[in-house]
Amino acid sequence: MRAWIAFGRGMGILPMCAAGILPADSGRSGRARMALRRTGKMPVPRRGRLSYVFLAIGIAAAAVLAAGAGEAPATKPVAANLIRNGSFEVRSGPRKLYPAEPWGYGLLDGVSRSPFAHWGYSGFWDGGDYDIKLGEGRTGRLCARLVCRKRGRGGICTDAIRVRPGTKLRFSGHFKAKGARGPCWVNFEGDGGDGWARIDLPARQDYDWTEVAGEVTVSPPRPQRKPAADGTIAVHVFVYTRAYGELWIDDVSLTPIAEP
Ligand SMILES: [Ca+2]
């Protein structure tokens, strides 16, 4: 019985609620009419004003979105660096099996894995003995250091970069030398041949971090090599030293600047 009374009261509240809304609106309409009589203008109800604000915000947002969709980006996207781990910040980690690790595992069988991911290394060409060591980075934490123990030729090498012959590339790298008496240079190798382009490093024994940059055009493959189905060939970038002392390397990049 008590439940029915409560239900009845509850139902009774509904029309009261509805009535509560209507008189409120009626009252507002009444105030509006009063204002109209006083000013000759129909005031905008408060709730209506809020709606106009939301409508204006919506229109402005839509305009901004539409403008954004129609316009080209303000800046051109930066071309990707084709050299992976050009900052030498990533270590090569635990030894992986081929083909995950494309480098040899011995010390004298050509290029071996280096302490840096995506970079190979050999210090034993031409009777040389060069260590590869971690150095303090020009930027970030790390750089690569080639340290001469016995003069000959040592170098580091990127893993394969796939590009189409005729592609124009811009190379940039930062180098530092300590007692580096002898030539050091960047050599472009791969399907195009061992040295289809070359950029020399400063011919000084000692210099602080210095940017060395240059442009190269990818040469066609050697007679025995063929481009892949997508028209690309493999390119490896080497940094060689034939010098005594130390060569430091950091922030190396290779970016396409013109397609063939
Ligand atoms: Ca670095």
Residue 106 within any structural domain of the chain: no
233 token code pair: 């060939």
Residue 97 within any structural domain of the chain: no
25 Cα to the center of ligand 1, angstroms: 70
49 Cα to the center of ligand 1, angstroms: 58
252 Cα to the center of ligand 1, angstroms: 9
The domain of 229 spans: 112-258
pLDDT of 194 reads 92
- The pLDDT averaged over each successive group of 10 residues in the chain (260 residues) is 39 36 36 39 45 48 44 64 98 85 71 93 94 98 98 96 97 98 98 96 98 98 94 98 98 96
pTM of structure: 0.70
Q: How many other β-carbons are positioned within 10 Å of the β-carbon of residue 183?
A: 13
pLDDT of 95 reads 83
12 Cα to the center of ligand 1, angstroms: 77
Answer yes or no: do 56 and 155 share one domain. no
Residue 77 within any structural domain of the chain: no
Residue 202 and residue 182: Cα distance in Å, rounded? 10
118 Cα to the center of ligand 1, angstroms: 14
135 Cα to the center of ligand 1, angstroms: 9
172 Cα to the center of ligand 1, angstroms: 14
Answer yes or no: do 146 and 233 share one domain. yes
Answer yes or no: do 47 and 121 share one domain. no
245 Cα to the center of ligand 1, angstroms: 20
86 Cα to the center of ligand 1, angstroms: 8
Q: How many domains are contained in the chain? A: 2
Half-sphere exposure of 158 (CA within 13 A, CB side): 28
141 Cα to the center of ligand 1, angstroms: 6
134 Cα to the center of ligand 1, angstroms: 10
Residue 91 and residue 3: Cα distance in Å, rounded? 75
pLDDT of 17 reads 33
Q: Which residue, 40, 70, 100, sits at the end of a domain?
A: 70
Residue 87 within any structural domain of the chain: no
Answer yes or no: do 142 and 26 share one domain. no
What are the φ and ψ backbone dihedral angles of 198, each rounded to 5 degrees? Answer: -150, 140
Nearest to 159 by CA among 119, 106, 218: 119
pLDDT of 134 reads 98
Q: Are 161 and 82 in contact (CB under 8 A)?
A: yes
Alpha helices in the chain (DSSP H): 2-39, 46-70
Residue 218 within any structural domain of the chain: yes
